[in-house]
Amino acid sequence: MKEGVKYTGVPTMEELKATPGLVSEARFESGPVAVIECVQEIPCNPCEKACPFGAIVVGQPITNLPVINEDKCTGCGACVSKCPGLAIFLVHKNYTENTALVEFPYEYFPEPVEGTTVPCGGRDGQYLTDGVVVKARKSKATDGTTLVAVEVPKEFYMSVRTICRKGGK
Amino acid sequence: MRVVKHPILPDDTDCDITIYCDGKAIPAKRGEPIAAALLAAGIRVFRETAKKNFPRGIFCGIGRCTDCVMTVDGQPNVRTCVTLVRDGMQVETQKGLGRWAEEA
Amino acid sequence: MRKVQTVVIGAGPAGLAASIEIAKAGGQVVLIDENSKPGGQLFKQIHKFFGSREHRAGIRGYDIGLQLLKETEDLGVEVMLDSPVYALYQDPEGVMVSYMNQGREKAILGEKVILCTGAAENALVFPGGTLPGVMGAGCAQTMINVNRVLPGQKIIMVGSGNVGLIVSYQLMQAGADVLALIEAAPSIGGYGVHAGKIRRAGTPILVGHTIKRVLGKTQVEAVEIVALDEKFQPIEGTEQILEADTVCIAVGLTPLTELAWLAGCQFTFIPVLGGHIPIHDDNMASTVPGLYVAGDIAGAEEASTAMEEGRLAGIAASEALGLYTDEQAEPLKEAVWNRMNTLRTGPFGQKRFDAKVQMLATAKGGK
């Protein structure tokens, strides 16, 4: 079974690391930051306009992969709900000493409830760990998308990307 | 089954009229196509083919393939996916090409 | 018989955009559609669109539809619904459009006519393929997003193009369980980000698989799938039976070209665009004088390109009617071409770009 986003829908770590949307390990240590998991060239650039700090650049042609400037990115999360592909995540690796906070766009029922414990999954939807819903919020700006942030053990900061809908614990 | 609540769309409106399928009362919503009301009620077999009586139902949903036709208020071969419901409408599972009510 | 400057047939994204452009140019336009509501397939697109700001990216399809409808209302476009067009005739003064309205046959003569009749989903042939519960993916999409009815509970999706991927996602939003998405080719046809969403939801994507048969007495009860080798032949022993009640077919769209054939348009065969396509030039003009084509009828692509082609046809028709001078029309047309070319770039768009280049060459070449 071949690996890679073209064969499975799940981008490999190699594919993610090859994009300009992934910041350095050092940047993950210094505070919340956006993680843009956009690995294919498609004509699309709402992320560029979404960032109030100009930290995301697509330029011309608009098939360019988005480039994140890790110094300008403050981790505000404005881009997360703007990506039509739901491919931008907000990661706060050092949320606490032992836990990370991973925020993702979510558009399913049941709507996650703040304060509850949920099964969290990876890019393939498989269960990784339990997490606590710290935030589950919609606003006019998110246009129907719920922004969900889950607190998970720190080692899952680059793997948890969703709440499990199937095969969860 | 009706999707009353949806993660991004507003709440659905209530059924406000009644249509009849082979004499059975089916709740329906003004403005929806016949096929939607039938599917919501769990009815999927809309007709039987002329020669072999094979069951057929909706396929394209946009009025192009004619798989979904039924006899409606005595008129055969009505595309249920694009024809809107009316209060009291009589819908019948169609056998083959159907028959006009006057010929029955 | 009524005579008007322009008739636009089909009130989907292409037809709405064309009507808006003609009205903006000061022209008279009658927009005619067989359905009881305008918008074509636009209102069931509840996801946020791609592209850039000028393509209305980031906005959900139905909101774009509402924007277009409001523009047509504000511009005073005359819209005739529940009016199926059944024939087109070439006429010295333009194109005659025959249609049904309230049970009566009527005709309207348009100096210019723009055909925006869209495309319809392909079927797939397999044993059990006609059972109730086997339906087009677009049909399921209409049911859940427009009519708010779940057409089934346990779904198998066939086809990994953007339609199959997006509708799988939307079926899960509506509460259905998509058991698997199967694709005969060895790789996923649509965007990785769409595939990523359904994988995160736990839906397996099985490339190199197809349906062997569907089982059931009066409706779908189970689906037998089988793996394919690199020659697309079934591999014996790889069969799996999945208990499902619905099969959604997303294996491509074919343009709805009946009226173009009737009118006498010349065609060319371009598989990438969906099959037989009416030949059109860079003004979207067909080979029949006064008749233009725009949107999926001119090649199955997406709503964004349909809107642009509609604009182009509307601007070109306005120019031909004398509502714009060449100097006024040129920059407008160039802006549309730039926006369209942008949408047709990258590994996903390049094939369609090349197909349209081939189309324009055919139009110039004469056959």
Percent of chain C with pLDDT over 90: 97
CB-CB neighbours of C133 under 10 Å: 25
Spatial distance between the Cα atoms of A28 and A94, rounded to a whole number of angstroms: 8
Cross-strand pairs, B2: C149
Q: Does the model's ipTM exceed the 0.90 cut?
A: yes
Q: Of the candidates C41, C139, C174, which has its C-beta nearest B58's C-beta?
A: C139
Chain C residues with CB under 8 Å of A7 CB are: 186-188, 207
Spatial distance between the Cα atoms of C363 and C334, rounded to a whole number of angstroms: 19
A vs B, Cβ pairs < 8 A, gives 12
pLDDT tens digits for range A104-149: 999 999 999 999 999 999 999 999 999 999 999 999 999 999 999 9
Using 50, 70 and 90 to split pLDDT, how confident is the model at B25? Answer: very high
| Contact assessment for residue C42 and residue C64, using Cβ atoms and an 8 Å cutoff | yes
Chain C residues with CB under 8 Å of A39 CB are: 192
Q: Which stretch of A137-141, B31-35, C332-336 has the lowest confidence by average pLDDT? A: A137-141
Using 50, 70 and 90 to split pLDDT, how confident is the model at A168? Answer: very low
Q: Reduced to 3 states, what is the DSSP secondary structure of residue B28?
A: strand
- Of C116, C46, C97, C165, nearest in space to C299 by CA: C116
Contacts of C323 (CB under 8 A, 6+ apart): C22, C25, C26, C27
User: How distant, in Å, are the alpha carbons of B23, B67, C226, C305 from that of B49?
Assistant: 21, 10, 29, 39
User: How distant, in Å, are the alpha carbons of B84, C196, C303, C352 from that of C349?
Assistant: 38, 20, 14, 5
Q: Is A107 on the interface with B (CB under 8 A)?
A: yes
Spatial distance between the Cα atoms of B49 and B52, rounded to a whole number of angstroms: 6
Contact A107 B5 (CB under 8 A): no
Amino acid identity for residue C13 in this structure: P
User: Which pLDDT value is given to residue C366?
Assistant: 61
This prediction has a pTM of: 0.95
Token pair recorded at residue C60: 């959900």
CA C131 to the chain's CA centroid: 25
From the CA of C195, how many Å to the nearest CA of chain A? 5
User: Which pLDDT value is given to residue C365?
Assistant: 84
Spatial distance between the Cα atoms of A113 and C8, rounded to a whole number of angstroms: 49
- Name the residue of chain A whose CA is nearest to B9's CA: A144
pLDDT tens digits for range B64-93: 899 999 999 999 999 999 999 999 999 999
Contact B8 C175 (CB under 8 A): no
pLDDT tens digits for range C93-139: 999 999 999 999 999 999 999 999 999 999 999 999 999 999 999 99
Spatial distance between the Cα atoms of C161 and A62, rounded to a whole number of angstroms: 21
Contact C139 B60 (CB under 8 A): yes
Using 50, 70 and 90 to split pLDDT, how confident is the model at A1? Answer: confident
Q: Reduced to 3 states, what is the DSSP secondary structure of residue C20?
A: helix
Q: C185: which DSSP letter?
A: S
Touching B: which chains, 3+ CB pairs < 8 A? A, C
